[in-house]
């Protein structure tokens, strides 16, 4: 028996309303959305679409309820897409923070420069990352974009911008997830520590720890913003590539034995009280061992950033152990830890324990070290498939409070990108 064709006129009117649908040149009719939505397994339901004289209607061999569900699902997806693309930007006291994204030297449209054809300028084999290479691409103002790559150029680890004289421009952050890590970490730390983010030349500087240094993009930005920074990288080849071809100064390399985590943590503890504003010390050792030793020595940081991965792109097992996460909670007591992880779920769907079980397992493992009162939440990054998770030993700050803190931090002039919308971009509590 042929099923009655559902009345889809209300959905047709909604879809064909020409109101900023991602700057489409031509609004697609409702039947094209059904053609995309109905491509599911034929074993589950048989869908037989036949053209009729009326272009807006199709005859479905499908239950009317399922047809309506498909219409509602397509409508919801498009509504989320429009809300995401045309999201409001925050303005406070005359400061239009969205203008920072437009003037950002590493704004989104620069990917055509740093992601284009490039010349190899560095190569070294590594026992950890197989082979480490650096590629150089020209920048429009005479500078040079540098990308640090692993595994035959298949993994882009870091991107840096050098000026015409070969000096690093730390304010240029091409990786969107690093911008989100900075925005979430700074806003959360200022709220929990009840301290304003200091300007470059005044106020008590914040202390930050970067577990996983890579090309030094995050560590260099924090340093030029006035923080006292310790960065840990396990691969000597990566540190050499950063110093030779990524613009990172060799004066930042700590004078300790490579691979000795206890010696590195002892040096960090000794300089914790005497560190100068904007100082940066880079240690070459295992980050998890460094964190454990530094916690035992009483080191404390306002923010701990974790950006580490094994050959599969997941955090190494030692960074998910209870011993490490417990030490992590001590290192950032009354502060926060911020971790980057890969996530195949796009922001429009929102990551959760069902569609992103690996991310959920990572977050639960890290959260376990922060005690029964600990909290965790995450935000998506718009530019790539990354999830940025934050952890504290207390209740998670409210979304509006974090946005207010991000706006206040932006007034110091430390940001060359808009941090306000990033702190709550598809936020989820875990």
| pLDDT tens digits in sequence order for the chain, 430 residues long | 434 333 333 333 333 333 333 333 333 333 333 333 333 333 333 333 333 333 334 434 344 444 444 444 454 444 444 333 434 333 333 445 667 777 888 888 888 888 888 999 999 999 888 899 999 999 988 899 999 998 766 678 899 999 999 999 999 999 999 999 999 999 999 999 988 888 766 778 899 999 999 999 999 999 999 999 999 999 999 999 999 999 998 889 988 888 899 999 999 999 877 778 889 999 999 999 999 999 999 999 999 999 999 888 899 999 999 999 999 999 999 999 999 999 988 877 888 899 999 999 999 999 999 998 999 999 999 888 899 999 999 999 999 999 999 999 888 887 889 999 999 999 999 9
Q: How far apart are CA 180 and CA 380, in angstroms?
A: 8
Question: In this predicted structure, what is the pLDDT of residue 140?
Answer: 86
Instruction: Provide the CATH number for the domain formed by 95-108+175-429 in this structure.
Output: 3.40.50.150
Q: How far apart are CA 253 and CA 270, in angstroms?
A: 16
User: Rounded to 5 degrees, what angle do the CA atoms 428, 410, 346 make?
Assistant: 30
Name the H helices within 302-423.
Answer: 322-331, 357-367, 399-410
Report whether 175 contacts 159 (CB < 8 A).
yes
Question: In this predicted structure, what is the pLDDT of residue 266?
Answer: 94
Residue 272 β-bridge partners: none
Helix axes 176-193, 217-224, angle to 10 degrees: 50
- Determine which helix (DSSP H) or strand (DSSP E) holds 72, and give its type and residue range: helix 64-85
> Which DSSP category does 423 fall into?
G
Q: 382: helix, coil or strand? A: coil
Contacts 24+ apart (CB under 8 A), 123-128: 124/237, 124/240, 124/241, 125/237, 126/150, 126/235, 126/236, 126/237, 126/238, 128/234, 128/235, 128/237
Report whether 420 contacts 97 (CB < 8 A).
yes
Question: In this predicted structure, what is the pLDDT of residue 429?
Answer: 94
Residue 391 β-bridge partners: 337, 376
Q: Which residues contact 9 (CB under 8 A, 6 or more apart)?
A: 56
Report whether 294 contacts 265 (CB < 8 A).
yes
Report whether 306 contacts 315 (CB < 8 A).
yes
Q: How far apart are CA 308 and CA 210, in angstroms?
A: 10
Q: How far apart are CA 195 and CA 206, in angstroms?
A: 10
Start and end residues for every CATH 3.40.50.150 domain found in the chain: 95-108+175-429
Report whether 417 contacts 104 (CB < 8 A).
yes
Q: Most distant CA pair in the chain: distance in Å?
A: 83
Report whether 320 contacts 53 (CB < 8 A).
no
Question: In this predicted structure, what is the pLDDT of residue 111?
Answer: 84
Name the H helices within 86-214.
Answer: 98-103, 111-114, 176-193
The token pair at 358 is: 């690996």
Q: 157: helix, coil or strand? A: strand
Nearest to 192 by CA among 378, 335, 373: 335
Side-chain-side CA neighbours of residue 108 (13 Å): 9
Q: Is the dihedral of CA 156, 162, 166, 171 positive or negative?
A: negative
Strand bridging mode 375-380 / 336-342: unpaired
Name the H helices within 216-334.
Answer: 217-224, 236-245, 261-270, 287-296, 322-331
């Amino acid at each position: 028996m042929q099923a009655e064709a559902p009345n889809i006129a209300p959905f047709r009117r909604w879809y064909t309303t020409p109101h900023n649908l991602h700057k489409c040149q031509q609004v697609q009719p409702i039947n094209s959305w059904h053609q995309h939505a109905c491509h599911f397994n034929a074993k589950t339901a048989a869908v037989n679409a036949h053209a009729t004289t009326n272009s807006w209607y199709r005859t479905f061999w499908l239950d009317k309820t399922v047809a309506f569900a498909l219409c509602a699902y397509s409508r919801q997806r498009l509504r989320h897409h429009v809300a995401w693309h045309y999201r409001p930007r925050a303005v406070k006291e005359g400061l239009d923070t969205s203008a920072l994204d437009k003037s950002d030297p590493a704004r989104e449209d620069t990917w055509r420069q740093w992601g284009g054809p490039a010349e190899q300028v560095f190569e070294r084999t590594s026992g950890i990352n197989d082979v480490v290479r650096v590629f150089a691409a020209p920048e429009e103002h005479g500078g040079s974009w540098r990308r640090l790559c692993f595994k035959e150029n298949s993994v882009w680890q870091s991107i840096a911008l050098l000026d015409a004289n070969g000096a690093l421009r730390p304010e240029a952050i091409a990786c969107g997830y690093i911008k989100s890590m900075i925005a979430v970490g700074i806003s959360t730390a200022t709220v929990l520590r009840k301290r304003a983010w200091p300007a470059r030349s005044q106020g008590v500087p914040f202390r930050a720890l970067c577990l996983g240094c890579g090309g030094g993009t995050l560590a260099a930005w924090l340093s030029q913003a006035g923080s006292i920074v310790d960065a840990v990288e396990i691969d000597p080849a990566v540190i050499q590539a950063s110093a030779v071809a990524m613009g990172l100064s060799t004066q930042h390399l700590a004078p300790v034995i490579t691979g000795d985590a206890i010696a590195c943590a002892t040096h960090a503890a000794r300089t914790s009280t005497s560190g100068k504003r904007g100082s940066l010390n880079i240690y070459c050792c295992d980050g998890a061992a460094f964190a454990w030793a530094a916690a035992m020595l009483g080191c404390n940081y306002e923010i701990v950033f974790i950006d580490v991965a094994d050959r599969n792109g997941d955090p190494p097992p030692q960074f998910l152990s209870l011993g490490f996460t417990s030490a992590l909670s001590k290192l950032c007591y009354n502060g926060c830890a911020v971790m980057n992880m890969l996530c195949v779920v796009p922001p429009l769907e929102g990551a959760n324990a069902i569609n992103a079980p690996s991310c959920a397992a990572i977050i639960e493992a890290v959260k376990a070290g922060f005690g029964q009162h600990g909290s965790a939440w995450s935000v998506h990054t718009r530019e790539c498939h990354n999830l940025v998770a934050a952890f504290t030993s207390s209740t998670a700050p409210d979304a509006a409070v974090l946005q207010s803190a991000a706006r206040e931090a932006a007034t110091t002039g430390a940001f060359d990108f808009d941090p306000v919308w990033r702190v709550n971009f598809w936020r989820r509590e875990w």
